[in-house]
Amino acid sequence: MNIQWYPGHMTKTRRMMEETISLVDIVIELVDARIPYSSKNPDLDTLAKNKRRIILLNKCDLADEKATALWTEYFEAQGFCVIKMNSLKGTGMNEVTDAARGLMKEKIEKLKARGRINVPIRSMIVGIPNVGKSTFINKYVGKTMAKTGDKPGVTRGKQWIKIKKDFELLDTPGILWPKFEDQEVGLKLAFTGAINDDILDAETLAISFIDHILLRNGDCIKKRYQIAFDTIEEPHVVLRQIADARGFKQKGGEPDLERASKILLDEFRGGKLGRITMELPQDIEEMLGAKVEKERLKAAEDRARKQNFKKKNK
């Protein structure tokens, strides 16, 4: 299943971010705690390379706690300030302002020494579509400032939001990156709802999701739908069992796999399958190591071809 989704408004958003990044001191990025690596926009490492960075592991209530602890260590080792966040309940909210002030402490003290008091810390808030950014802002501010929705792409324009005398947020629309080099990343984004469902085939996506879950925690599906299967079972067979368990039938008595697919994905996104993290730091390190090795072998093959070409043409 090849997944790419980069509508025109995202190109405009990236351009706007490039134009305004110089106005901010800190970049705060929300990522989905269930897929911290896949939901972290790699373009920001270039765009915000000279800025202080805070990562909010949002939806931590839907992710495995031990896995979230591992991801916290992973990002902190890279120099990020990391906060576990549940935007709906407000968990972690109080830590954000304190963290921002801590990162800016040296600059604030220098400004005070020159008689400049309450100069606002300016932060840009960024994240992929449907990661809960608008929900975070509304909870953080204490009133409805940003539109929220259960589909990606609700926020379409930038807006400055004053939190206190010394703190301002620049809200930006959700943005992905133009091309997913690893289709596993695209799939995980689709599982969590960061990709517009309208461009996806629900049944194909659900089968891919089951394939992923069977490798990690097939018991969560067994418990939720009260079905039994071996962990080596084919994903499409498990999907049929889910349809049967819920009584989803088409005319003629065949299982309604499309309806079962949509229910499965909705219930995963809503946390009804339990606390699930779909990737771990060790998975990413193995993937990156394999990528480096693949590039090394390709470079060696290219050198060998060039050498053979030179020998033939002497």
pLDDT digits (tens, 9 = 90+) for 165-217: 778 899 888 888 888 878 899 999 999 999 989 889 999 999 999 999 998 88
pLDDT band at residue 82 using 50, 70 and 90 as cut-offs = very high
85-94, 134-143, 220-229: segment of lowest average pLDDT: 134-143
Dist CA 11 CA 178 (whole Å): 9
Q: Does residue 38 belong to any structural domain of this protein?
A: yes
Please name which of 24, 90, 106, 22 lies closest in space to residue 58, comparing C-alpha atoms: 90
In this model, does residue 146 exceed pLDDT 50?
A: no
Is 215 within a domain? yes
Residue 255 within a domain: yes
In a domain, 314, yes or no: no
Residue 122 has pLDDT above 60, yes or no: yes
Query: Minimum mean pLDDT among 3-12, 138-147, 171-180: which range?
Result: 138-147
Q: Are residues 53 and 155 in the same domain?
A: yes
CATH of the domain at 140: 3.40.50.300
Show Cβ contacts of residue 188 under 8 Å, excluding neighbours closer than 6 positions.
Answer: 35, 38, 39, 212, 278, 279
Q: Are residues 15 and 156 in the same domain?
A: yes
Say yes or no: 157 and 104 in one domain. yes
| Range in 97-101, 138-142, 188-192, 271-275 the model is least confident about | 138-142
Task: State the residue range of the domain holding 100.
Answer: 11-171
Positions at the binding site for GTP? 58-61, 86-87, 130-135, 174
Which residues define the annotated binding site? 58-61, 86-87, 130-135, 174
Say if 4 falls within a structural domain: no
Tell whether 213 and 160 lie within a shared domain. Answer: no
Instruction: Please list, in sequence order, all residues whose beta carbon lies within 8 angstroms of the beta carbon of residue 5, skipping any fewer than 6 positions away.
Output: 176, 195, 196, 199
Cα–chain center distance at 122? 23
Residue at a domain's end among 253, 269, 285: 269
Run of H or E residues at 27: strand 26-32
Both 42 and 137 in a single domain? yes
How much of the chain exceeds pLDDT 70, in percent?
86
Categorize the per-residue pLDDT at 277 as very low, low, confident or very high, splitting at 50, 70 and 90: very high
Query: How many structural domains compose the chain?
Result: 2
pLDDT at 180: 83
159 & 23 share domain: yes
CB atoms within 10 A of CB 1: 12
Residue 171 host element (H or E): strand 167-171
Asked if 112 and 219 sit in the same domain, the reply is no
In the predicted model, is pLDDT for residue 151 greater than 50?
no
For 209-230, write each residue's pLDDT tens digit: 999 999 888 899 999 999 998 8
CB–CB of 85/139 below 8 Å? no
pLDDT for the residue numbered 264: 98
Q: What is the pLDDT of residue 298?
A: 64
**Residues 157 and 211 both lie in one domain:** no
In a domain, 2, yes or no: no
Q: Would you place residue 290 in the very low, low, confident or very high pLDDT band (cuts 50, 70, 90)?
A: low
Q: Is residue 142 part of a domain?
A: yes
Rg (CA), the chain: 23
Residue 248 and residue 74: Cα distance in Å, rounded? 42
